[in-house]
Amino acid sequence: MRAVEEDGPRTARSDPETSGMYPRSGDGWLDFSAPGTRAIVHAALTAALADIDAACRHLGITYWLHAGSLLGAVRHGGPIPWDDDADLVMPPDDLQAFIAHAPALLGLKYSIETPAEDPFIVPDAKVYLAGTHTFSKDAELRRILPTANDGLFVDIFVMAPVSGCRLTRRLEGQLAQLVHVRPWAARLGRYSSTSLSYRLKLKAASHLPRACTSVIVYWLNKRSRRHPNEFFSTGRFGRNWQRVYHRDTIFPLGSRSFGTLMLPTPRDSDSYLCTLFGSDFHIPPPPGRRGGHISALKMEGRSDIA
């Protein structure tokens, strides 16, 4: 979407013929392309990261910035100007402790959801900002995956130990992907932007018997306990096996400025980001490729950030 030269947010258009980019009702919706709306989103996400950081420090939980949030910290000193979410990563035991104990500290301003509560969640956990509502840019994806029309969120991924052998890592990672996508594979297989190879994988996952899934999870659990903490990949059982991080790239953790905050980051953030995005990660993409998840935002009862 083309950025609008305005000082403040404007109400999103409500024309239902605009390729599904905007909600049908314009009441209270703010266009994300307006700089003022982006400022509201970034303030809300920064406040959420501050609250999550305080909870993690209180609970002794290890976490660090990941993906777009780490890229924003390194390249922009804060959120990527066109980004609309935040990304964190935690070791498996720390994520379980966060899910179990953080809600009491975060209070009613947030809700934590996992694939156990919502099978359409892609990361290992999401922290939703209560009182916020977003409208996905992708009309087709909104129809296929119900969670595409939820509020602002912070994605949390597991950083799991994986095998040092590429072939073993690939086998375990692909099995982990089958288990992960199984709940929504049939729906996502109808998505027109899905490649043929991924569509075939989704079809296989959708026909995976529940008993077979249980056996795979049992085997992956058994295997994961044997892996030394030397190589890591994101996702449960290292399902994103193509991107592997050595322990020395991550630990001991450092810290970087993220707006007004100082947040944990990998020891070698440049190598980490090179693994994620390639060696040219310092160069911002052209305007046409600066995509995000949402086209519009609504805030209800959140005067603290609006």
Specify the DSSP class assigned to residue 11.
Answer: B
CA distances for 240 relative to 19, 170, 222, angstroms: 32, 9, 18
The model's pTM is 0.86
CB 43 within 8 A of CB 297: no
Q: pLDDT truncated to tens, each residue of the chain (306 aa)? A: 223 223 333 333 333 334 455 555 457 788 888 888 899 999 999 999 999 999 999 999 999 999 999 999 999 999 999 999 999 999 999 999 999 999 999 999 999 998 887 777 788 999 999 989 888 777 777 777 766 447 899 999 999 999 999 999 999 999 999 898 888 888 888 888 888 888 888 888 888 899 999 999 999 999 988 898 899 999 998 899 999 999 999 999 999 999 999 999 999 999 999 999 999 999 998 988 887 788 888 887 666 665
* Bridge-based pairing state of the strands 294-299 and 132-136: antiparallel
Q: What pLDDT was estimated at residue 35?
A: 83
**Pick from 4, 68, 13: which is nearest to 36 by CA?**
4
Which residue, among 140, 122, 131, has the nearest Cα to 177 in the 3D structure?
Answer: 122
Q: What are the sequence ranges of the domains in the chain?
A: 30-299
Instruction: Check residue 12 and give its pLDDT.
Output: 38
**Are 261 and 279 in contact, with CB atoms under 8 Å apart?**
no
CA distance 202 to 259: 39
pLDDT for the residue numbered 52: 98
- The answer to whether the beta carbons of residues 130 and 111 sit under 8 Å apart is yes
How far is Cα 164 from Cα 82, in angstroms, rounded to an integer?
A: 36
Closest CA to 217 of 99, 97, 116, 87: 116
The pLDDT, as a whole number, for residue 17 is: 36
Instruction: Copy the structure tokens of residue 16.
Output: 């239902």
CA distance 237 to 34: 40
The answer to whether 165 and 183 have CB atoms below 8 angstroms apart is: no
Q: Would you state the pLDDT for residue 306? A: 54
- Please check whether residue 113 is in contact with residue 128, taking contact to mean a CB–CB distance below 8 angstroms: yes
